[in-house]
Structure 1
């Protein structure tokens, strides 16, 4: 097992290096403006690098007073241990805490400052170098508890500028700054183009869980923007290719399709059990092709329905992450399975796949964007988004990409309503005869939940089945049995003695489902 894991780490290292020639690889550091407004001797505008966690205020700015603590200057411990608080007082500027780089994760420094009341954090580099992006650490049970709860913005500043701020603060100056994100995303016109580099793998730990939750949460807003023509959205998926020396190895064969051209890491990082990397590549390819098919029908927003439904109905944890489950989702949304299959091509062919080749080419940075090397990555108007992948902050970043005064209503109000249940019943279960549906329209987009009707709860998966459960089932569409009215009397073949049965009433004959023949003047009601 340890040998397998060691080989996997070596192989994944090769795969990442194989993404693009090192000479052309280019990671772009996304920046915002930091302007010192006082004291006069250090007034000016400086660059700062946006942290890849927390919530940057895209489209806006924040003013604050910079504080440099006398103790815990690296922010690696809770400030409460030193009796330090950064909570703002009425009438005073919010407090921006300056901490030094080193000894612990960037995200932990920001979390500790946030808990102490800071409104933003500036991290001073400890070496002279070009600005870098502060990323969150690999998430495990301990780090995930604070990473997902960071809600303040942060920025890295150069060592020399950090020293300038510290010197001014230590001499007794009141240092006020303005963090500005208004130009962090270009806003040239009334349409925003954005793309999400994502993955269908739901077994990579906390980061995958957060991505899946974001997809479900953001779907409603994304569809409103797309349906209204306000945005042009494109999904993307990262793949790697297997180095030539490893193409015939068991590991590459299990992680790749098209003879090593398109690969993904093993979901469980264990070659001997569970799903394989090629399973992920195939589903990523299927999701790309679903987008291409719906885009040709001028309904690109249906992609959001597919990927979120697939997450719910076909999770790896339940061993349902497969072609059969995927096709059941495609069918429920009324999409053409054959067109999706034609788009996917032959994964066993020793040749290029045009769809995945296009994706690999797109990973390489063009213009101001830079290479995509972090999963997930959101790109808005060709600028990589930095910060927490969370509905409110992402929507703010997208909305900052509109030319001023052209923002759609969804950017100006949190009251977002959708009407997805009117189109193909949202892909959910329905009983047209009884006018029943499992489709519920919510702020977060439609959900498929079996309904509660006249006190009777329907049970099922909400997509293909919903059946009445518990007492009173005959009140709902007569339990699916025959019913009729004659001479002011209502008749039903439905009986419920712990289990619904369709049995014609006294004086009637038939199967109880489609027909019961007789007269109300015979049998129980007979006057003959």
Structure 2
């Protein structure tokens, strides 16, 4: 079976000097913004993704828009003004609409994030096509807050911003949905990405961010990569001073070397070694230490077991008066085709031929790359906890939850939180996931009694939950109610549902009743009647006696039948044999007395039969005589 590949184009090095000779074409990466209320301004618009923060690539986010009454350009801290944008429990996240101007985009977003907002919309102050909000390069002091921006931001057109402001000032509840699901194409189970980097480590905040990203992302890239390179990169003089230090030629040479390191490593089927080389070179050969040179690079190459001669052959002669095939290929790759645009912001990541916009951090970049996979084809690294958005931690993500049973419909994914009714102990909850979830099917009563009424008193528990059938909640016998919110005890005694016999005395209990009889009477629940305890005892004794008598009679009858038909014939034959009446071999010894007794009985019966023909005997009625008196004895 073919394994799913985490395929990416690794790094490109842009020769900005060459790009500057032609007209650059910059493409603004956009996401969809849909107004869901009020009805009069419903619709979908484009917004430009900010090149910082963490856009929710592959997912979407719903929120309520607010427009501050003061500090509308967000150039000051909202904390100092006592303003908070934190959403209340159970309500949508807060999106803050601010105006462009007076300070950097990144600072605006940082101030809004610090006040508790979940996203920022910046309204342009002039009518123009959308542009990409980027971070400042010249101020190192901005590095701290830029690195800590974690919420998404987007620039919207001036007319659209005015429409939102007008609706909010009119008292309307403005709800919007930011959608990044189509910001990165995801046609199949492969993702190609290009990382345009810079070997210069003295270009300010962005170089620091780049160095940190390369170090942090190395493990993820090496874990799932089969890398090829189709890019190039160059930078101006590092110190912006041609009279001292390193110049652009040194940077171009090292960029070329790093390209060839990748090519040689890739040819040896070890493309991940490029990450090791770049990481080690940044640590061991920095410009600050005056080690940004060939000698230091050769030491790193040797320590990684790479073929230095192959790398030098790949690099060629940087002083030769002809095109360098490697750099020429990178120059061609930098010119964007189709919807990608040229690489003009550095560093830049390209995912599925679309430029990434956002914070250059491991989790943010992995989220964008994972969003490029067709759904359900994402590799395992995309499903780890590192990429979860953690939206469920606040207000349960706006999803359904049952705090008593510790159940929730909120599930964090790299595409954002999803409200889906959970599967618990093989019981699937059903509902919209936002306001309603209930268990269904067999076993549903094991989970919080299936959402039905249940109660226990004095160690006795009752539940209205049914595991089968259309009726899910029904009060048990002895109770009445809707089965969901309540079941009330039925007073069987008061409602004359039990103990109706004259001798009965009824006492109601929770869920049942107790019925007793007066005197020595015994209550029979099935017949709702009382009977005498003594009568029942006598009847029981007579029943036992009859059982014994019947048993004895049956045993006696059986013994008589055995005697009559088997033993009597046997005794008679034996006695006749012993008396010589018949001739037959003997198989035993017949006792003389027993045989005598039997023969005597036999003779008596025969004589009595003969005499009975002529005269009545004792116990026999007289019959007419048909013989003469001479025949009487």
Q: Normalising to structure 2: TM-score of the pair?
A: 0.57
Could you say which residue in structure 2 is the equivalent of 1:369? 340
Could you say which residue in structure 1 is the equivalent of 2:44? 45
Task: Report the Cα offset of residue 25 of structure 1.
Answer: 2.3
Task: Report the Cα offset of residue 356 of structure 1.
Answer: 0.6
**Structure-2 separation of matches of 1:281 and 1:21:** 17
Task: Report the Cα offset of residue 304 of structure 1.
Answer: 0.7
CA contact (8 A) 2:120 2:154 kept: yes
Could you say which residue in structure 1 is the equivalent of 2:57? 58
Distance 1:145 1:209, change over 3 A: same
Matches within 5 A, 1:143-162: 143-162=142-161
**Structure-1 separation of matches of 2:170 and 2:202:** 52
- Structure 1: any 5+ residue segments left out of the alignment? 1-14, 240-263, 417-528
CA contact (8 A) 1:199 1:237 kept: no
Question: Once the two structures are superposed, what CA deviation does each residue of 1:377-413 show, in whole Å capped at 9, x if it has no partner?
Answer: 0000000000110111001001001111111111101
**Structure-1 separation of matches of 2:103 and 2:205:** 20
Task: Indicate yes or no: 2:367 matched with 1:396.
Answer: yes
CA contact (8 A) 2:211 2:282 kept: yes
Distance 1:203 1:107, change over 3 A: same
**Structure-2 separation of matches of 1:404 and 1:203:** 40
The 4+ residue runs of structure 1 with deviation greater than 3 A are 15-18, 232-237
Distance 1:393 1:415, change over 3 A: closer
Question: Once the two structures are superposed, what CA deviation does each residue of 1:233-257 show, in whole Å capped at 9, x if it has no partner?
Answer: 5374323xxxxxxxxxxxxxxxxxx
CA contact (8 A) 2:232 2:333 kept: no
Task: Indicate yes or no: 2:238 matched with 1:237.
Answer: no
**Structure-2 separation of matches of 1:18 and 1:334:** 34
**Structure-1 separation of matches of 2:54 and 2:144:** 16
Corresponding residue SS for 2:64 = strand
Question: Once the two structures are superposed, what CA deviation does each residue of 1:115-135 show, in whole Å capped at 9, x if it has no partner?
Answer: 111110000111111111111
* One of 274, 298, 302 as aligned partner of 1:331: 302
**Structure-2 separation of matches of 1:206 and 1:52:** 14
CA contact (8 A) 2:133 2:155 kept: yes
Corresponding residue SS for 2:192 = strand
Matches within 5 A, 1:469-480: none
Task: Report the Cα offset of residue 337 of structure 1.
Answer: 0.8
CA contact (8 A) 2:140 2:204 kept: no
Corresponding residue SS for 2:195 = strand
Task: Report the Cα offset of residue 332 of structure 1.
Answer: 1.5
Could you say which residue in structure 2 is the equivalent of 1:259? none
Could you say which residue in structure 1 is the equivalent of 2:281? 310
**Structure-2 separation of matches of 1:16 and 1:403:** 34
Could you say which residue in structure 2 is the equivalent of 1:218? 217
Matches within 5 A, 1:252-331: 264-331=235-302
Task: Report the Cα offset of residue 415 of structure 1.
Answer: 6.9
Corresponding pairs, count: 373
Q: Normalising to structure 1: TM-score of the pair?
A: 0.68
Task: Report the Cα offset of residue 224 of structure 1.
Answer: 1.1
CA contact (8 A) 1:74 1:100 kept: yes
CA contact (8 A) 1:54 1:154 kept: yes
Task: Indicate yes or no: 2:115 matched with 1:120.
Answer: no
**Structure-1 separation of matches of 2:280 and 2:336:** 31
**Structure-2 separation of matches of 1:141 and 1:129:** 30
**Structure-2 separation of matches of 1:202 and 1:377:** 16
Corresponding residue SS for 1:211 = helix
Corresponding residue SS for 2:229 = strand
Task: Report the Cα offset of residue 82 of structure 1.
Answer: 2.6
Corresponding residue SS for 2:111 = helix
**Structure-2 separation of matches of 1:237 and 1:215:** 17
Matches within 5 A, 1:46-125: 46-125=45-124
CA contact (8 A) 1:139 1:207 kept: no
**Structure-2 separation of matches of 1:216 and 1:17:** 27
Task: Indicate yes or no: 2:179 matched with 1:184.
Answer: no
Could you say which residue in structure 1 is the equivalent of 2:321? 350
Corresponding residue SS for 1:62 = strand
Could you say which residue in structure 1 is the equivalent of 2:19? 19
**Structure-2 separation of matches of 1:31 and 1:408:** 26
Corresponding residue SS for 2:288 = helix
Could you say which residue in structure 2 is the equivalent of 1:31? 30
CA contact (8 A) 1:50 1:156 kept: yes
Question: Once the two structures are superposed, what CA deviation does each residue of 1:47-71 show, in whole Å capped at 9, x if it has no partner?
Answer: 0000011111111111100000111
**Structure-2 separation of matches of 1:223 and 1:144:** 28
Corresponding residue SS for 2:224 = helix
Matches within 5 A, 1:435-450: none
Distance 1:139 1:414, change over 3 A: farther
Question: Once the two structures are superposed, what CA deviation does each residue of 1:489-528 show, in whole Å capped at 9, x if it has no partner?
Answer: xxxxxxxxxxxxxxxxxxxxxxxxxxxxxxxxxxxxxxxx
Corresponding residue SS for 1:396 = helix
**Structure-2 separation of matches of 1:28 and 1:78:** 32
Question: Once the two structures are superposed, what CA deviation does each residue of 1:427-476 show, in whole Å capped at 9, x if it has no partner?
Answer: xxxxxxxxxxxxxxxxxxxxxxxxxxxxxxxxxxxxxxxxxxxxxxxxxx
Root-mean-square deviation (CA, aligned residues, Å) is 1.7
**Structure-1 separation of matches of 2:138 and 2:382:** 31
Could you say which residue in structure 2 is the equivalent of 1:436? none
Task: Report the Cα offset of residue 266 of structure 1.
Answer: 1.6
**Structure-1 separation of matches of 2:230 and 2:61:** 32
